[in-house]
Amino acid sequence: MTTVSANVMSRAKTPFINEALINFSQEEQQRAQAEALAQVKSELGQTYPLVIGGQEINGEKTFASVNPSQPDQVIGYFAAATIEQTNAAIQTAAATFETWKRVPASERAGYLFAAADLMRQRRFIINAWMIYEVGKSWVEADADTAEAIDFLEFYAREMIRISEPQPITRTEGEDNQLVYIPLGVAAVIPPWNFPCAIMAGMASAAFVAGNTVVLKPASTAPAIAYQFMRILEDIGLPKGVVNFLTGSGAVIGDVLVGSPKIRFIAFTGSREVGLHIFEHASQTPKGQIWLKRTILEMGGKDAIVVDETADLEAAATGIVASAFGFQGQKCSACSRAIIVEQVYDKVLQKVNEKAKKLVMGDVTQASTAIGPVVDENALKKILEYIEIGKAEGRLLLGGKRQGSGYFIEPTVIADVAPDARIAQEEIFGPVLAVIKAKDFDDALTIANNTEYGLTGSLYTQDSQRIERAKEEFHVGNLYFNRKSTGALVGVHPFGGFNMSGTDSKAGGRDYLLLFTQAKAISTKK
Ligand code: NDP
């Protein structure tokens, strides 16, 4: 064993622990973040290339990523990949797979540890890119970077674990083993809302398992993905293992997903695009000798249920944090508060009071909790839903756009019927529908009555109801007496049921298996 791989093996044996969040109440940390924001500000507006096989290729056409707080500020210009360039990226990944798949698992895991270390060093800078590019508050941006570090640390250890001899039943006269081998070329297609964590998590899971990657970042968050590419370059990841392909999903998505050289797709995003990919990937174009695997994590219509025994103060705090954190733009966001009749008015009042206090505005300031929504399309769509909501319920708070950025006030709409559109469709913005239930049974029925099943939360002091909800509340991530957002890698493996996706459980022990195929090998003695 080389010293490098011995070091990796010994690091892999240390238990995984979640990365601590930065404490921005400390002056030193505040200063570091402010300095990073100033540095990143001085770098805004540059032009970025595609990276295929380590080669930087400038686009004939580019598109701009802009600051949603201040849409006239360009974050960067990114190459709009052509169909030829998309095919070139796939071809390069396919050629690189032939060498990368032979690199030992410990060496591959070593790259993830190295990337985690470098991301720690660049933490404030990466936070700053997220604050500018997608309008995250400091705390939300830092949690995103911390989660990315967690994924790198976790999947490195997981790769070592699954590369070790696997438990298998013994039989006389034969030696048997089961090994997990890579699949091939991955199309990794992340969303913009966790532009560091989900992007780095899906990409690193793919390549640590021995696959090569075409990474197509979301068009509203390519600068953050480019920062990750720089980290991979700086740690010396072999060229062509991860290829950076920017461009509109609507233009190049079908070529990427449909290519006979793509072996699997790791996607996180909307239900609409996820379903399209699912159908498209099921086809077997000429020359394709496998069934494509799809790992698809999609939307949610997540509920927090509050019964009459609950700590109402804690419930209201959890609802507000889950509904309005990152402007409600989380797949795990609470978009339905389902409250039993007996305590409905009290909880509603508390939610209203707490939501009113949220500070919305300039996310480059430490004290700001609420920033803009991601782009003009999101702004229009959310405002349309607010209009629909005003007709479907009683507007209690917010409802309006603010300023020249894409700011929408935290909005609470009360007395919404369980089957109303704003109680069924994912809005993906700071809009909370509050629904009155007759009792706990009714609340549970309402909670389950959507086509999604991602996260859910129940506030109650009744242990029997907790046991019932464990059986009957049909969501991939179920929480009791806590908010519905903030899943931690390793602690809360994350993924949803039904139209929320394939329940791939990112950050869990099953995840890397989705990026491999198992080979059983039997030798007669
Ligand atoms: P989208 O579905 O709009 O986009 C996701 C990615 O798909 C982007 O990179 C996008 O590229 C790309 N894409 C778009 N069209 C195609 C296509 N035809 N073929 C291939 N790729 C395509 O989602 P958002 O980025 O808006 O993310 C928000 C959604 O993600 C919400 O629904 C949210 O609930 C969900 N989500 C789910 C999570 C989960 O774990 N279940 C976690 C986080 C978010 P482009 O940007 O160029 O259009």
pLDDT in tens, 304-333: 999 999 999 999 999 999 999 999 999 999
Element (H, E) at 66: strand 62-67
What is the residue-averaged pLDDT of the chain? 97
Which residue, by CA, sits nearest to atom 8 of ligand 1? 218
Residue 222 CA, ligand 1 centroid: distance in Å: 13
Three-class SS of residue 295?
Answer: strand
Ligand 1 centroid, distance to 265 Cα (angstroms)? 13
Pocket around ligand 1 at a 6 A CB cut-off: 189-194, 198, 216, 218-219, 248-250, 253-254, 257, 268-270, 273, 276-277, 297-300, 331, 426, 428, 454, 494, 496, 500-501
Mean pLDDT score, 84-99: 98
Task: Please give the full DSSP string across 42-53, using - where no structure is assigned.
Answer: HTTTEEE-EEET
The mean per-residue pLDDT over the stretch 364-369 comes to 96
Average pLDDT over residues 65-78: 98
Average pLDDT over residues 338-366: 97
Pick the residue with more confidence: 151 or 3?
A: 151
Tokens 């690091």 correspond to what residue? 11
pLDDT tens for each residue of 106-128: 999 999 999 999 999 999 999 99
- Catalytically active residues, by annotation: 297, 331
Share of the chain above pLDDT 70, in %: 100
Residue 325 is predicted with a pLDDT of: 98
Q: Are 512 and 162 in contact (CB under 8 A)?
A: yes
pLDDT at 178 over 90: yes
Q: How confident is the model at residue 6 (pLDDT cuts 50, 70, 90)?
A: confident
What per-residue confidence (pLDDT) applies to 5?
79
pLDDT at 1 over 80: no
Q: Which string of b and e fits 147-160 if b means at least 16 CB within 10 Å?
A: bbbbbbbbbbbbbb
pLDDT of residue 511: 98
- The reported pLDDT for the residue numbered 38 is 98
Mutate to test the pocket of ligand 1, among 189, 379, 489 (most ligand atoms within 8 A of CB): 189
pLDDT at 316: 98
φ/ψ of residue 157, rounded to 5: -65, -40
Mean pLDDT of the 65-85 span: 98
- In angstroms, the CA 92 to CA 367 distance is 46
Statement: residue 4 has pLDDT above 80:
no
pLDDT digits (tens, 9 = 90+) for 233-247: 999 999 999 999 999
In this prediction, residue 369 carries a pLDDT of 96
Average pLDDT over residues 384-397: 98
Task: State the pairing for strand pair 174-182/516-524.
Answer: antiparallel
Instruction: Please state, in angstroms and as integers, the Cα–Cα distance from residue 229 to each residue in 189, 224, 233, 262, 515, following that order.
Output: 15, 9, 6, 21, 20
Q: What is the mean pLDDT of residues 149-172?
A: 97
Give the whole-angstrom CA distance, residue 517 versus residue 525. Answer: 26
Beta bridge partners of 65: 76
The pLDDT of residue 214 is above 70: yes
- Asked if 304 contacts 225 with a C-beta cutoff of 8 angstroms, the reply is no
Shortest-distance atom of ligand 1 to CA 274:
2
Model pLDDT, residue 30: 98
- In a 3-state reduction of DSSP, which class is residue 58? coil
- What does the alpha-carbon distance between residue 212 and residue 186 come to, in Å, rounded to a whole number? 6
Residue found by looking up tokens 């009360």 in the block: 414
Q: Which atom of ligand 1 is nearest to the CA of 217?
A: 9
Q: Which residues contact 371 (CB under 8 A, 6 or more apart)?
A: 68, 69, 135, 136, 137, 326, 327, 360, 361, 363, 407
DSSP state letters, 340-360: EHHHHHHHHHHHHHHHHT--B
